[in-house]
């Protein structure tokens, strides 16, 4: 279905829905109906806040464990030689990598496929966070080897570490994400109370799950509606019958809850779809990749966020395929290229929309990978380097401390599984502070944060 047809369909549906509501008992409340009419028919919204108050936090989760040992490579000759010797078949040629000169010193380079990241770093719109990982408290190699350190459960396990990264509660079984906890705390800032501030382009996830916050899934094409209601050829009588069923008085609590959530979803879909129709896609070209499509929709949703009454929103996107046990050189190059191109496009789109300093993107991943090769690729590691991008980022810098890239050296648990020198809690708390969380709330959000020297790593302005 082309855009014009889709738009016509939505407008027609909005008008039908409005007439049905006014002519009968109506599916929606009077206030909500007015909002739908305002947003969908006249192009104006009952929701509107100053764009100056708006902030969007975007998590890009790299499922499988990105090998950031090859995303950011030492470039100084002796350090590179040590890297090349230890990485063996995984070593990237020095002549191919993309040199960067971080503010504050150091000599590093990005993966050859990361041209977009090099551009953003040189423009000071991107920063690197070195050797971040799940920790309960600081750990030394001696602590680790003696068994005296308090360690996150199930290190090196995909399923456990991906959840712990998203929770920032490595010693808890609660499946509540730190993004969801932040959303619980800040939801009251939003004028819009009927649409969740947690929007996911990659399905249900732990990071956005809160005690009150629920995830609102959206596809890279927009809202995911109820198919029958979206199709014009479906008999209106059937549509009216469906909506009528949702209005029935129900004694069963579960049935009442399902009917209520379905009604709210329909209403929210109408609001968002109508607002998107009023805001065309950015002129900035995005790569036609899965991540490119996700970030394009997030840019559009962030653009209309203030119109929908949001001062704060959190978004979730993801890429899979980073579990490179074999064939790593080619597979990782393709993944890095996709990531870098999507990041560059998102940045350019936020510049085009005038919201660059209001949208911050950060990466997360299960873990890093072993510095030693298994002969074809790399195995599950621990500490990893990550990226933060946006107009509010202190870009062009590398924050934190790189591990000494020596197998069985002072930062290694074995095989080049780096002991993190920055905790997920510190990384997350710094982003949460930028988002507007008061310092007094950080211990509640990140109970282990006090075990570390600093709660603000300084990479956000």
pLDDT in tens, 101-125: 999 999 999 999 999 999 999 999 9
Does position 41 have pLDDT exceeding 80, yes or no? no
**Which position has the higher pLDDT, 282 or 52?**
282
Percent helix / strand / coil, the chain, rounded to 5: 40, 15, 45
Q: Which residues pair with 312 in a beta bridge?
A: 55
pLDDT value of residue 304 = 96
pLDDT value of residue 38 = 40
Does position 256 have pLDDT exceeding 90, yes or no? no
Does position 2 have pLDDT exceeding 60, yes or no? no
For the record, the structure tokens of 84 come out as 């090349």
Does position 22 have pLDDT exceeding 50, yes or no? no
Instruction: Compute the mean pLDDT over every residue in the chain, rounded to the nearest whole number.
Output: 88
Nearest to 372 by CA among 81, 77, 88, 70: 88
| Confidence band, pLDDT 50/70/90 cuts, at residue 279 | confident
For the record, the structure tokens of 180 come out as 């969801």
Kindly give, in sequence order, each residue whose CB lies less than 8 Å from that of residue 140, ignoring residues fewer than 6 positions away. 149, 410, 419
Whole-model pTM: value is: 0.87
Instruction: Give the Cα separation of 244 and 20 in Å (integer).
Output: 10
- pLDDT tens digits along 423-459: 999 999 999 999 999 999 999 999 999 999 999 999 9
For the record, the structure tokens of 108 come out as 């590093």
pLDDT value of residue 47 = 62
Secondary structure letter of residue 67 according to DSSP: -
pLDDT value of residue 224 = 78
Kindly give, in sequence order, each residue whose CB lies less than 8 Å from that of residue 58, ignoring residues fewer than 6 positions away. 295, 298, 302, 314, 315, 316, 317, 346, 359, 360, 361, 362
| Confidence band, pLDDT 50/70/90 cuts, at residue 244 | confident
As a dihedral over the C-alpha atoms of residue 403, residue 409, residue 411, residue 416, rounded to 10 degrees, the angle is: 80
Nearest to 155 by CA among 403, 332, 413: 413
pLDDT value of residue 223 = 87
pLDDT value of residue 46 = 54
pLDDT value of residue 258 = 83
Does position 164 have pLDDT exceeding 50, yes or no? yes
**Which position has the higher pLDDT, 40 or 301?**
301
Nearest to 87 by CA among 106, 74, 104: 74
pLDDT value of residue 435 = 98
């Amino acid at each position: 279905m082309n855009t014009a047809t889709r738009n016509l369909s939505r407008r027609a549906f909005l008008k039908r829905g409005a007439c049905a509501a006014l002519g009968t008992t109506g599916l929606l409340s009077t206030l909500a109906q007015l909002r739908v009419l305002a947003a969908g028919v006249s192009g104006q919204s009952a929701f509107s806040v100053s764009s100056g108050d708006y902030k969007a936090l975007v998590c890009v989760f790299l499922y499988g464990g990105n090998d950031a040992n090859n995303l950011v490579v030492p470039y100084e000759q002796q350090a590179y030689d040590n890297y090349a010797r230890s990485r063996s078949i995984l070593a990237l040629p020095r002549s191919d990598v993309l040199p960067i000169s971080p503010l504050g010193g150091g000599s590093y380079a990005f993966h050859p496929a990361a041209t977009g990241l090099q551009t953003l770093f040189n423009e000071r719109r991107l920063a690197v966070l070195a050797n971040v990982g799940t920790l309960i408290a600081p750990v030394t190699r001696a602590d680790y080897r003696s068994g005296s350190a308090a360690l996150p459960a199930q290190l090196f396990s995909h399923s456990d570490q991906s959840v712990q990264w998203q929770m920032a509660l490595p010693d808890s079984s609660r499946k509540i994400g730190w993004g969801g906890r932040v959303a619980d705390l800040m939801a009251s800032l939003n004028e819009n109370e009927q649409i969740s501030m947690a929007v996911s382009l990659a399905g249900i996830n732990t990071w956005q799950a809160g005690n009150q916050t629920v995830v609102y899934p959206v596809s890279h094409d927009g809202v995911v509606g109820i198919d029958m209601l979206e199709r014009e050829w479906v008999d209106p009588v059937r549509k009216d019958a469906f909506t009528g069923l949702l209005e029935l008085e129900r004694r069963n609590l579960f049935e009442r809850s399902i009917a209520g959530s379905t009604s709210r979803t329909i209403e929210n879909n109408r609001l968002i779809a109508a607002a998107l129709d009023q805001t065309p896609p950015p002129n900035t070209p995005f790569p036609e990749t899965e991540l490119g499509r996700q970030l394009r929709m997030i840019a559009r949703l962030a653009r209309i966020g203030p119109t929908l009454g949001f001062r704060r929103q959190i978004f979730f996107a993801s890429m899979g395929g980073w579990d490179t046990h074999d064939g790593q050189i080619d597979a990782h190059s393709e993944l890095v290229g996709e990531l870098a191109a999507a990041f560059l496009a998102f940045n350019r789109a936020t510049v085009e929309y005038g919201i660059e300093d209001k949208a911050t993107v950060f990466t997360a991943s299960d873990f890093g990978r072993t510095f030693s090769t298994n002969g074809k690729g790399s195995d599950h590691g621990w500490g990893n380097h990550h990226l933060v991008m946006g107009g509010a980022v202190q870009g062009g810098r590398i924050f934190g401390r790189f591990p000494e890239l020596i197998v069985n050296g002072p930062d290694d648990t074995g095989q080049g599984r780096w002991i993190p020198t920055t905790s997920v809690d510190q990384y997350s708390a710094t982003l949460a502070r930028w988002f507007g969380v008061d310092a007094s709330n950080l211990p509640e959000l990140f109970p282990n944060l006090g075990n570390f020297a600093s709660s603000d790593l300084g990479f956000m302005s």
